[in-house]
Structure 1
Amino acid sequence: MAATISRVSASKPSSEKADTKVWFYSLFLTLQYGAQPLISKRFVRREVIVTTSVMSCELVKVMCALILMAKEGSLKKLQKKWTLVGALTASGLPAAIYALQNSLLQISYKNLDSLTFSILNQTKLIFTALFTYIILRQKQSVQQIGALFLLIIAAVLLSIGEGSSKGSSTKNPDEVLFYGIVPLLVASVLSGLASALCQWASQVKKHPSYLMTVEMSIVGSLCLLASTFRSPDGEAIKQHGFFYGWTPLTLIPVTFNAVGGILVGLVTSYAGGVRKASSITLGFVIVSALLVTALLQFLFDGKPPSLYCLLALPLVVTSISIYQKYPYRVKKKEA
């Protein structure tokens, strides 16, 4: 009995410590996620070549992941187990997909306001649910399906509103639609597919998250590098140089973006192995980040949300809240 009590009292501080870390990392992830569109819009000039910013972000991710792996002592162990075939099998395809997705996001950043980008970016939840069902047979509850329909309504509302002349008075509506909304929606589809593939690699291949970050960043950078031989970005790099259009401030959104990917892994890790706990935490982050984006856009740009954003925001917040709160529960027969 005494031994049991001592075990409980010993585990309680460690649990409280883990909870503290979860909320600490969640706070930073909320600020990063909410501020990223605004920071990218202000500090990345339109002249910056998209491929260079994405490749630089991947390099920062590799450095952060290697530092964290060295700190936890897993770097030496992986030297014996790591194989090229295993890396390409687990990380090759999602890396190439994420490389294309990041390029599309960089294009979209420049042609949408921060809040519209953040709200419309949540459509990736729809495609993540779709591809996890196709690849992993991960089912959704009735409430989650309803939440996804709310998200679709918000996406359609924003697409029609912001792509119209009324929704975008300062920019060409065609430019907003074809260089802002369409790239972002395609990026959401790619994000859903890549997320499902990463989950498959994690569950089936038992691939560590930090190792996947390193492998995917390297493979993705190689894919982007190969694409420069026959792309407009490649010609621009040859003509103007790799860092054309860069300023010292450009490093801020690049680093922020890379750190955000690491923070997602830390939040998920410290939230524990319980899927519901990590989902609720990340759901809180997403909803809070939308509000942070709206506040920062109003404070720094003096731009209040458009009517379409005001109508779509509560739909997205409600959708994400329902989706995270009512996960699918496995029935006894299925178990």
Structure 2
Amino acid sequence: MSKVKYYYDSETLSYKKIKRKKGRRIGIALLSIVGAFLAGFILLVIYLNIPELETPKEKALKRELDNMTLQYELLNRKMDQVQQVLANVEDRDNNIYRLYFEANPVPEEQRLAGFGGINRYRDLEGYDNSKLIIESNKTMDMLIKRLVVQSRSLDEIVALAEDKEELLAAIPAIMPVKNENLKRMASGYGMRTDPFTKVRKFHYGMDFTAARGTPVYATGDGRVVRADNRSSGYGNHIRIDHGFGYVSLYGHLYKYNVRRGQRVKRGDLIGYVGSTGRSQAPHLHYEIFKDDQRINPINFYYGQLSPEEYDEILQQSQQENQSLD
């Protein structure tokens, strides 16, 4: 089909060829280019401002980044739990172990030394999640430092203990009832709700739930100084003097298996769980005294628990619930 176009000239009464102007052709071409450019620019702006329009690779990278951020947050939570357990071990080291062997406590400055001065995390700055990554690295470095100091401290304690076997045997270092599944912890040392008055007051021992007649064991070597019911609230109870200022108490017993003045070894059967005295249900109320002052029994179960088991029972003992006596 011919692209030549004609028009009818009424004056000459004939058809004449239409001649296109070159300037108009150039204008149309430029207009087309400008229109295409504007359309492309508008589409680009729309693409950049609609987050849903992501390539498969971008989506995969975003999922990977989100997962990495989540894993760092979970790691920080786990490290927080480790720090709590380590802080408890450090407290026991300074206030119990070193006290046993008349050694000076490890200063806090020594445990945390070496983390001031230069910025050792500069290479981790400038990224979207720099703060999270830097905090994770700081926490990890701090834990490693504290663990090294604590390990050296315990090595020193072991050396001090070599000549003190009698003291180590006397310290009440196990739980007074069998608790393989760690489910018998009912109430710990600290502020608790009284089961009778419903008022919060300080609970000076640990309550272990157990059926009536469950065996109760001596937690360290010593001599039975009381096996009676003449102490208000405890009902039938036993007290063992371990020497070195330590006394353990076992309350609300059903009956005794020892008598006053008898020598016992750690792990010996001394009585049976009951609910005598000021008790709401069958359980064992257990206390430890050091130089006539009640102290938290949770610090003395190192003789039979792994670090993971100790962490679990520590969490249970810190719950502010209702005691059973």
TM-score (norm 1): 0.25
Higher normalized contact order (CA 8 Å, seq sep 6+, divided by chain length): 1
Q: Compare the two structures and name the one with the higher strand fraction.
A: 2
- Radius of gyration: which is bigger? 2
Q: Compare the two structures and name the one with the higher helix fraction.
A: 1
TM-score (norm 2): 0.26
